[in-house]
């Protein structure tokens, strides 16, 4: 690890004293609000931070403050109080990149006529066919999803190609939204310490990423559930899109950044997420007797629980509130929030695989 984990606000104060003693020699000295002396940057305490970096008074030490861009970028490989915030979402990004690559080999992005997930059911003389989701698409849980469908209107397999031409862009849009959110969040945590202007821009990007994740989460849910009901499909898709754009717009108001608006930010994003309850409730009213509807709703409930827990932890700032300074490097609320977000996004990915398999098998 490149940077030593020392609390060096005292170092910079000492250097400032040296500056007073030797005013002509400033090459190796620091000022009170700068933590880089020559090429060496040191970590500092909350009390020495400029206002724009004061976000959580229960995290007392190991801050980077106004480091040059090069040192800020290299700090991805050093230990400070943002290291795990950066890596929890960067690892999440790579997980979703891997899922996207593998999914693309199973579900080519351009819908084809012969999905490898669709297999004629040889045991049946009717038009029954089965959807099989490879266990490798269900990374981590090794789950296996299989359902048989019987269509009354078609009696030969020649009808299948047209039925199976289902757009896959909502599925990939969600994966792109998840990767964008995780990557922008990681970049925000890495770069925000550089300067006030950088912090402002990165926070904008972070909010845009969160809004993007929430909005794109609903696209596969709504698109595949209401693929055969264009009115409801368009109504729900346009509603969540407008809501997402509104959230991004509100996020652009500078006053929204201050720590006292932390609960407002949390509530805003929670409300946007909660708006997805309407199409999901509608799905259960229409398709409540279908195993795919029950399974996807189960995944969505788990996702909601994980995101909800994340929002509560984020807003309450626990456990560091109870033991200030004890969770500076590991275990503080924002790290827990990040892990819960990745877990929630992965749970939703499992649901989108089921949605896509369901619609590819059944068409309209």
- Residue ranges of the annotated binding site for Zn(2+) are 189, 334, 338
Burial state string for 92-104 with b = 16 or more CB within 10 A and e = fewer than 16: bbebbeebbeebe
Q: How far is the CB of 80 from Zn ion (least distance, A)?
A: 15
Distance from C-alpha of 259 to C-alpha of 49, rounded to nearest angstrom: 14
Q: What value does the CA radius of gyration of the chain take, rounded to a whole number of Å? A: 25
Stretch that binds Zn ion, among 59-67, 74-82, 159-167, 184-192 (CB under 5 A): 184-192
Name the residue whose CB lies closest to Zn ion.
185
Looking up tokens 């932890």 gives: 313
- Residue 81 or 185: the one with the smaller Cβ distance to Zn ion is 185
Stretch that binds Zn ion, among 48-56, 178-186, 190-198, 231-239 (CB under 5 A): 178-186
Q: How far is the CB of 268 from Zn ion (least distance, A)?
A: 16
In sequence order, what are the residues at sequence separation of 6 or more whose Cβ sits closer than 8 angstroms to the Cβ of residue 84?
A: 329, 330, 335, 338
Q: How far is the CB of 261 from Zn ion (least distance, A)?
A: 16
- Residue 71 or 185: the one with the smaller Cβ distance to Zn ion is 185
Mask: binding to Zn ion, 185-204, rule CB under 5 A, as x and -?
x-------------------
Q: How far is the CB of 335 from Zn ion (least distance, A)?
A: 9
- Residue 169 or 200: the one with the smaller Cβ distance to Zn ion is 200
Q: Select from 191, 203, 204, 202 the least CA-distant residue to 76.
A: 191
Show binding-site residues.
Answer: 189, 334, 338
Pairing state between β 118-120 and 40-41: unpaired
Stretch that binds Zn ion, among 56-64, 72-80, 98-106, 181-189 (CB under 5 A): 181-189
- Residue 185 or 333: the one with the smaller Cβ distance to Zn ion is 185
Question: Could you give the angle at which helices 196-225 and 230-251 cross, rounded to 10 degrees?
Answer: 170
- Residue 44 or 333: the one with the smaller Cβ distance to Zn ion is 333
Sign of CA dihedral 355, 356, 357, 360: positive
Distance from C-alpha of 316 to C-alpha of 159, rounded to nearest angstrom: 55
Name the site residues for Zn ion (rule: CB under 5 A).
Answer: 185
């Amino acid at each position: 690890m490149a940077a030593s984990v020392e609390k060096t606000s005292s170092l910079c104060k000492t250097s400032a004293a040296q500056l007073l003693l030797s005013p002509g020699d400033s090459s190796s000295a620091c000022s009170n609000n700068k933590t880089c002396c020559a090429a060496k940057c040191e970590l500092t305490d909350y009390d020495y931070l400029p206002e724009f970096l004061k976000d959580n008074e229960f995290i007392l030490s190991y801050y980077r403050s106004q480091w040059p861009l090069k040192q800020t970028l290299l700090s991805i490989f050093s230990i400070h109080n943002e290291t795990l915030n950066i890596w929890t979402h960067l690892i999440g990004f790579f997980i979703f990149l891997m899922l996207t690559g593998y999914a693309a080999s199973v579900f080519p992005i351009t819908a084809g006529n012969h999905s490898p997930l669709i297999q004629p059911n040889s045991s049946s003389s009717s038009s029954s066919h089965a959807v099989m989701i490879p266990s490798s698409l269900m990374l981590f849980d090794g789950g296996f999803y299989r359902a048989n469908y019987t269509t009354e209107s078609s009696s030969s397999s020649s009808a299948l190609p047209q039925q199976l031409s289902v757009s896959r862009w909502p599925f990939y849009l969600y994966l792109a939204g998840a990767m964008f959110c995780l990557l922008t969040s990681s970049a925000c945590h890495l770069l925000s310490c550089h300067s006030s202007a950088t912090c402002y821009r990165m926070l904008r990007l972070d909010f845009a990423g969160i809004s993007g994740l929430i909005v794109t989460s609903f696209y596969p849910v709504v698109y595949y559930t209401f693929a055969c009901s264009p009115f409801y499909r368009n109504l729900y898709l346009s509603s969540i899109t407008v809501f997402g754009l509104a959230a991004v717009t509100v996020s652009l108001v500078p006053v929204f950044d201050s720590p006292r608006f932390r609960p407002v930010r949390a509530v805003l994003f929670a409300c946007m997420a909660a708006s997805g309850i309407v199409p999901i409730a509608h799905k259960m009213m229409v398709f409540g007797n279908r195993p795919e509807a029950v399974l996807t709703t189960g995944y969505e409930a788990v996702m909601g629980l994980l995101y909800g827990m994340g929002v509560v932890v984020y807003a309450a700032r626990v456990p560091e509130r109870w033991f200030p300074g004890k969770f500076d490097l590991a275990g503080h609320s924002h790290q827990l929030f990040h892990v819960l977000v990745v877990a929630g996004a992965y749970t939703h990915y499992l649901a989108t695989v089921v949605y896509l398999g369901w619609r590819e098998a059944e068409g309209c």
